[in-house]
A and B are shown apart, each in its own frame.
Chain A
C-alpha cells in the first residue's frame, strides 16, 4: 500500500472516531470514554518501551495527574482543562526526577522503583489529609454537567496525543536512537548517545500523557480516593493492552485498549461473576498464542509463508526496523 493510501486509511479511522458518538446513548458513550482513557494509558506506556525500559507503576502518574487536577479544582477553582495540563506537568516532573536517579542504571531498577512508587504515592496522599483529603476522597462537580458526548471528545483528544507522539517518534531520528538504546545500550553509548537523557525524555513524555488522562478522570467520575487513583490494576491494564495489541507499534496499544476494554465489558454483562475467570483464560491464551500481539497476527496473515518464517524470531522488534 502506498503512503497516500495509508494516510487515507488513518483519516478514515479518525473520522470514524469523530462520528462514533453520534448514534450512541450514554452507556455507549461512557464505554468510548473508557476506551479512550485506556488508549491514552497503553499508548503512553508503550512510548517508554520504545527505549527498552519497563515501568510497572504507570498508575502512579495517572494518580498524580488525577490528584493535581482534583486538588487545583477543589482548592483554587481551576477549570478541568488547566488542571489536566497541570497534571501532565506534575507527572512528567515526577518521572523526570525518578528517571534521573533510576535510568542511569540498567536492568530492572526502574521497574522496581515504579512498582513501589504507586504504593508510596498512595501512602503520601493518605497521610496528608489536610492537603489531599486523605482517605475521605475528593468530590467534584461533573464536567460538562455530566454530558457524555463532550467528555468523549476531550478524552479522544487525550488519547490521540500519545498515539501521535508515537508516530512522531517513529518518523524522527529519535526512533533510531531509542531503538539503539533498546537493542544494545552499551553500543549506543559507545556511539556517543547520551542514553540517560533520551531514556528520561521518553519516561517523562510517557508519564505526561498518563498524567493528562488522570487529570480528566476525577472531573468525569466526580469522586476519587487514593485506592482508585493509584490502583495497581490500572498499571497492569496499561501493560497488558500494548502486549496484547503489539508492543513497539503505533497501532498495538490502540488495538489492545479497544479490544480489552470492550471485551471486559462484554464478559462482565454476559458472564456475571465468572467474567474475570473467562477474561483471564482469554488473556493467557492470547498471550501464549500471539507473541507479536494482534498487530503481529495481522502481519502474519498478510505475509507470504517463507517471509513469515523468516520474520518470526524477531516479531517483537519487527516494527523498529
Chain B
C-alpha cells in the first residue's frame, strides 16, 4: 500500500506537471511567436549556440521596426539531440506556445522526427529550416510547400567538389574517399562516389572509419599505398586534426587533400598549426570573407556580408559560423514573408516567402525547386583553401578571393 501511495503521488505529480505550461506572459495576439528547436545541450550544442546567436541578432534587428505592428518573439527549445525530445519541443511549441512558424534547427535526425510530428496537423506549421541537409528529408518532406529549406542538400556539396576537381590543371585522375561511418559521412561519401565516377574520376576506394578513433594510420597507410591524386574525406573536426597530423607523420603526400566544412574551423587551424594546415581544401556553405552586396529591398536587415560580419563580431566578439548567418537569414525571410502577407494567414505567408528574391549577406535569397523539394535556397557551395593561416575562397570563380595552391606542397620544408 505504501508503494501504491508513491505511485499515486507520482500520478499527482504528473497531473501537476501537465499544467506547467501556463504559457508565456504576453498574449499570443500581441506578438508573433516563432518556434526554434535547437540542440542547445548535447553533441550539437556548439553549432546550435551559433544558430541561436544568429536568430537572436535577427530578432533584435527585426523588432526595431516590428512586423505588422507587433514584436517577433523567438521561443527557443532544447532538443538535446534526441528525436523524442525534439518531438516534445515541437508539440509544446505548436499546442501551447501557438507559434506561427518554425525557424532554425540542426541535425537531420531531429528534423526528420520534427517534420514527422508536423504531419498530423492541418494546416501544417510553416518551417524555414536550417538543419535538414539529408536527401532522405528532401524526398520525404520536400513536396510540402510550407517547408522552406535553407541548408544545402548533400549532393550540392559533392557536385561543388566535383566541379572544383574538374577545374584543376592538371586534372586529377584518382580519388580515395574516406568517411566517418554514421549518417553524415556515409551518406555524403555515397553521393561523392556517384558524382566523381560520373565525371570520369576513378574512385580507388571508399572506406568508412569510426569518427573520434584515436588512430587512423591503418586507413592512411592503405590510402598512401594506392597513391591517389586526391585524398578526400568526410568526417568531423577531431578527425580532420588527426588525419592532418598522421598524414604528415606518414609522409602521405597526394596531389590534393580535400574535406568538408569541418576542416574550416579556427580550432582546426590552431590544433594543427598554420604550416600543417597550408593547402588543405574544404567545402563550405558560407565564409565570413565572402563578398555579397546588400539587399536593395531591405538593406537594414540584409546588409552586405562585410557589414553583417562586422555587426555580428562586434556583438558576440567572435567570428560567425555559417549556422549563425543561415539562421539569421532564415528568420528574416520568415519575418519578411509575414510582413508581405499582411496577416498570419498560412497560405498568404507561404506565398509571400516563395516570392522573396533579394540579395543577402549569405548570397542570393530565393526559394526554388531542388531535385525533390519545392522550396530550397542557397544551392551554391564554396571551396576554400588554407593559405598562410587564412581561408582563401577558390570556387566558384565569381566569389573567389585567391588562386589555388596545387599540387599539395611537400610536408617539409614549409
Contacts and interface: CB of A to CB of B under 8 A. Distances in A.
A272 B5 contact: no
A24 B20 contact: no
Interface string A256-285: 001100110110111011011000000000
Interface stretch (A173-181, A197-205, A247-255): A247-255
A135 B1 contact: no
A24 to B, nearest CB: 6
Contacts of A10: 4
Contact of B9 (A26, A136, A255, A269): A255
Contacts of B199: none
Contacts of B41: 273, 275-276
B112 A223 contact: yes
Contacts of A268: 77-78, 80, 85, 88-89
B84 to A, nearest CB: 6
B3 A250 contact: yes
B289 interface: no
A175 to B, nearest CB: 15
By size class, the interface of chain B is 35 or more
A183 interface: no
Contacts of B6: 245-246, 251-252, 255, 294-295, 298
Interface string A285-301: 00000000011001100
Interface in B94-143: 94-96, 109, 112-113, 116-117, 119-120, 134, 136, 140
A270 B20 CA distance: 10
A12 interface: yes
Interface residues of A, number: 69
A233 B85 CA distance: 13
Contact of B4 (A9, A25, A32, A37): A9
A298 B9 contact: yes
A52 interface: no
B1 A5 contact: yes
Interface string B175-190: 0000001111111000
Given A5-B1, A223-B116, A269 B87 contact: no
Contact of B182 (A126, A221, A252): A126
B121 to A, nearest CB: 8
A224 B400 CA distance: 40
A259 B183 CA distance: 33
Contact of B112 (A139, A146, A226): A139
A136 B1 contact: no
A20 interface: yes
A137 B117 CA distance: 17
Contacts of A137: 109, 112, 136, 183
A26 B88 contact: no
A136 B11 contact: no
Interface in A91-149: 126-127, 129, 134-137, 139, 142, 145-147
Interface string B62-80: 0000000000000011101
Given A30-B91, A250-B3, A266-B17, A146 B117 contact: yes
Contacts of A20: 14-15
A124 to B, nearest CB: 12
Contact of B120 (A135, A142, A223): A142
Contacts of B184: 135
Contacts of A223: 83, 109, 112-113, 116
Nearest to B185: A135
A67 to B, nearest CB: 15
Contacts of B88: 27, 30-31, 34, 265, 268
Given A258-B10, A272-B78, A276-B41, A221 B119 contact: no
B7 interface: yes
A191 interface: no
Given A137-B109, A146-B120, A258-B11, A249 B84 contact: no
A10 B5 CA distance: 10
Given A27-B92, A221-B116, A126 B181 contact: yes
Given A27-B96, A221-B116, A275-B78, A136 B187 contact: yes
Contacts of A275: 41, 78
B120 A227 contact: no
A79 interface: no
B8 interface: yes
Contacts of A265: 17, 88
B40 interface: yes
A226 B78 CA distance: 22
B45 interface: yes
A251 B4 contact: yes
B183 A269 contact: no
B314 interface: no
Interface in B245-304: none
A307 interface: no
Contacts of A299: 2
A186 interface: no
A28 interface: yes
Given A225-B109, A225-B182, 7 more contacts: A26-B95, A31-B88, A146-B119, A251-B4, A251-B6, A255-B6, A294-B6
15 contacts: A27-B94, A27-B96, A31-B18, A32-B14, A127-B181, A135-B182, A145-B119, A221-B113, A223-B109, A225-B183, A251-B3, A252-B6, A268-B88, A268-B89, A269-B77
Interface of A: 1, 5-6, 9-10, 12-13, 16-17, 20, 24-28, 30-32, 34-35, 37, 126-127, 129, 134-137, 139, 142, 145-147, 221-223, 225-228, 231, 233, 245-246, 249-252, 254-255, 258-259, 262-263, 265-266, 268-270, 272-273, 275-276, 294-295, 298-299, 302, 319
The 7 closest A-B pairs by CB, nearest first: A146-B120, A251-B3, A222-B116, A1-B1, A27-B91, A258-B10, A223-B112
